[in-house]
Amino acid sequence: MRAPLAVVILAAGKGTRMRSALPKVLQPLAGRTLLARVLDTALALEPAQVHVVCGHGADDVTAAHAEYPVAWVEQPEQLGTGHAVACALPDIPDDHRVLVLAGDVPLVTPETLAPLLEGEHLTLLAARVEEPAGYGRLIRDGSGAVQAIVEEKDADAEQRAVQEVNTGLLAAPAGPLRRWIAGLSADNAQGEYYLTDVVAAASREGARVEARLATDPDEVVGVNDQAQLAHAERLWQRRAAHRLMRDGLRLIAPERLTLRGTVRFGADAAVDADCLLEGEVVLGSRVSIGQGAVLRDCVVEDGAVINPYTVAEEARIGAGCEVGPFAHLRSGTRLEAGARVGNFVETKKAQLGPGAKANHLSYVGDAGVGARANLGAGTITCNYDGAEKHRTQIGADAFIGSGTQLVAPVRIGERATIGAGTTVTRDAEADALTVGRSRARTIHGWQRPGLTPRSGSTEDDETPPASGSATE
Ligand code: UD1
Ligand code: MG
């Protein structure tokens, strides 16, 4: 029978090499913290206990992960990875198997860790890498048995050439681990209690030490500086993109997708280059997402087209809708089937009925727009009086002329027509034309400063325009 599992996650370090005010394990990877990624992996192993050792920025680290069912252990001073594990050990019974994970090794999968949970000996996860710099090296004796791990800073030239490295992750039975850790010394280049020295301790006792090679070295990359964080992000994104494509999503440029959440999608949905999908995104069948679109917590129903550089947050886009380019759908936007929102249109808490249109340069906020209503270019719902927000209700088949302001609260009746340039401050009747517009006058012969007068120009008086004049 397998021993109960206690996972210890090391997350107390400052991450000096990040040169950031944020504790290292709070750095984001694909929109979540490094530590959240490791916690998810740990919990997937169904452990009996999870201990997170924190120290640097402990309050922020704990607060950011309050929803996780784990025990937080404080390491008041960061005296090394061995000391960090020692802080958690008093709460772990001898009959448990301890798995040590690092808060800065975020890509490892439960599948890769599973073999470490078996057996009653010390097992470490190793990797063979082209560029071993920065990692502890595995030192084997003549028979091939692992004797020790030597940290980069303590290694001689020959040891540095070794390409078999320690991933920082290991598992051991709690009883012997306690003994090995109690015997650690800080007599090394960094003056720290290295967890890695338990390997030499076990080996000296003649205890079995097993090194498991991670089949995919990309899974065990450690994040110690900004370059490694960016590298880990890319690896995570590549993995996510491949999973989506395997499930049938068409990615025009998989290397240029950024996913910070989950996407569900129907058949023949396609996403163009440089899109950012965040939170929970649902794409129906045949949906097309144009280049550079940003979608956060959105539902896009079958056959809808999102044109390039659209930004949509908490919006629901109905079947066959067309949005953008350069549209901004804010929270509470709901577009019914076949609605159309064009370029430089911002919507917020707005419901557009089936086939309704706002094609150019508009603000539609706190508004309900009936079926097939047409909002002309530059239609503005004036929803805010400086203190409160008010609603605009537009009836089905209404036609709102260009450059109209609708001063809320206000209602526009069904099939109403609003003349271009009208400022609507009272409810507009159904089936009628509402227009309010000051007449334009023409002043003949008026001299614009800086414009050379046309020769022969004599008129200097004002002529009233003929009724229905084109100058209006
Ligand atoms: C560690 C390993 C190294 C391995 C590498 C893989 C040791 C001594 N070295 O080196 O062999 O190749 O990981 O990525 O273990 N931490 C604490 N308390 C401390 C010190 C560290 O909680 O007192 C935490 C850090 O926050 C980090 C993790 O332990 O999450 C690893 O520490 P780090 O300083 O990054 O060790 P590396 O130099 O990467
Ligand atoms: Mg590290």
The full set of domains in the chain, from first to last, is 5-220 (3.90.550.10), 240-434 (2.160.10.10)
Tokens of 347: 């919507």
Which of 77, 81, 138 has the most ligand 1 atoms within 8 A of CB, as the residue to mutate? 81
Q: What is the pLDDT of residues 243-278, one digit of tens each?
A: 999 999 999 999 999 999 999 999 999 999 999 999
**Catalytic residue set:** 360
- The number of the ligand 1 atom at minimal distance from the alpha carbon of 53 is 22
Say how far apart CA 315 and CA 301 lie, in whole Å.
11
Q: What is the pLDDT of residues 49-61, one digit of tens each?
A: 999 999 999 999 9
Distance 250 CA to ligand 1 centre (A): 39
Q: Ligand 1 in contact with 103 (CB < 6 A)? A: yes
- The backbone torsions φ and ψ at residue 441, rounded to the nearest 5 degrees and listed phi first, read -110, 155
Per-residue pLDDT at 471 exceeds 60:
no
- The number of the ligand 1 atom at minimal distance from the alpha carbon of 13 is 26
Cβ pair 217, 129 in contact under 8 A = yes
Distance 143 CA to ligand 1 centre (A): 28
Say how far apart CA 198 and CA 180 lie, in whole Å.
6
Please tell me the residue having the least CA distance from ligand 1 atom 37.
135
Distance 104 CA to ligand 2 centre (A): 6
- The number of the ligand 1 atom at minimal distance from the alpha carbon of 79 is 23
Q: Ligand 1 in contact with 13 (CB < 6 A)? A: yes
Q: Ligand 1 in contact with 413 (CB < 6 A)? A: no
Write out the E strands in 83-154: 97-102, 122-128, 137-140, 146-150
Q: What is the pLDDT of residues 320-350, one digit of tens each?
A: 999 999 999 999 999 999 999 999 999 999 9
Question: Which spans in 223-344 are helix H?
Answer: 226-246
Write out the E strands in 183-306: 209-213, 250-251, 258-265, 270-271, 276-283, 288-289, 294-296, 299-300, 305-306
Residue 454: band (very low, low, confident or very high) from pLDDT cuts 50, 70, 90: confident
Please tell me the residue having the least CA distance from ligand 1 atom 33.
13
The pLDDT value recorded for residue 469 is: 38
The pLDDT value recorded for residue 212 is: 96
What pairs with residue 52 in β-bridges?
Answer: 9, 72
Per-residue pLDDT at 463 exceeds 70:
no
Please tell me the residue having the least CA distance from ligand 1 atom 17.
12
Q: Ligand 1 in contact with 81 (CB < 6 A)? A: yes
Q: What is the pLDDT of residues 359-385, one digit of tens each?
A: 999 999 999 999 999 999 999 999 999
Place of tokens 């706190």: 366
- Closest to 101 measured CA to CA, from 47, 159, 178: 47
Distance 12 CA to ligand 1 centre (A): 9
Question: For the residues 297-302, what does the mean pLDDT come to?
Answer: 99
Question: For the residues 457-469, what does the mean pLDDT come to?
Answer: 47
Distance 157 CA to ligand 1 centre (A): 22
Tokens of 412: 């526009």
Question: For the residues 461-471, what does the mean pLDDT come to?
Answer: 44
3-state helix, strand, coil in the chain (%, to 5): 20, 30, 50
Cβ pair 237, 278 in contact under 8 A = no
Please tell me the residue having the least CA distance from ligand 1 atom 3.
136
Cβ pair 47, 57 in contact under 8 A = no
- The number of the ligand 1 atom at minimal distance from the alpha carbon of 75 is 18
Tokens of 465: 């325009």
The pLDDT value recorded for residue 467 is: 45
Q: How many angstroms separate the Cα of 200 from the Cα of each of 7, 143, 225, 336?
A: 22, 15, 28, 67
Question: For the residues 173-189, what does the mean pLDDT come to?
Answer: 98
Per-residue pLDDT at 1 exceeds 90:
no
- The number of the ligand 1 atom at minimal distance from the alpha carbon of 165 is 12
Tokens of 18: 């990040």
Cβ pair 428, 411 in contact under 8 A = yes
**Cβ contacts of residue 73 below 8 Å, gap of 6+?**
51, 52, 53, 54, 87, 88, 91
Half-sphere exposure of 176 (CA within 13 A, CB side): 19
> Structure pTM?
0.90
Look at 235 and 467; give whichever has higher pLDDT.
235
Q: What is the pLDDT of residues 417-447, one digit of tens each?
A: 999 999 999 999 999 999 999 999 999 999 9
The pLDDT value recorded for residue 470 is: 38
Q: Ligand 1 in contact with 53 (CB < 6 A)? A: yes
The pLDDT value recorded for residue 455 is: 77
The pLDDT value recorded for residue 466 is: 44
Say how far apart CA 192 and CA 153 lie, in whole Å.
12
The pLDDT value recorded for residue 464 is: 47
Distance 410 CA to ligand 2 centre (A): 60
By DSSP bridging, strand 32-33 and strand 28-29 are antiparallel
The pLDDT value recorded for residue 453 is: 82
- The number of the ligand 1 atom at minimal distance from the alpha carbon of 14 is 26
Q: What is the pLDDT of residues 25-69, one digit of tens each?
A: 999 999 999 999 999 999 999 999 999 999 999 999 999 999 999
Distance 100 CA to ligand 1 centre (A): 11
Cβ pair 250, 273 in contact under 8 A = no
Phi-psi region of 86 (alpha: psi -120 to 50; beta: other; left: phi over 0): alpha
Q: What is the pLDDT of residues 129-173, one digit of tens each?
A: 999 999 999 999 999 999 999 999 999 999 999 999 999 999 999
Look at 350 and 471; give whichever has higher pLDDT.
350
Q: Ligand 1 in contact with 27 (CB < 6 A)? A: no
Q: Ligand 1 in contact with 188 (CB < 6 A)? A: no
Say how far apart CA 300 and CA 448 lie, in whole Å.
52
* Cα angle for residues 437, 352, 406 (degrees, 5° grid): 20
Cβ pair 9, 98 in contact under 8 A = no
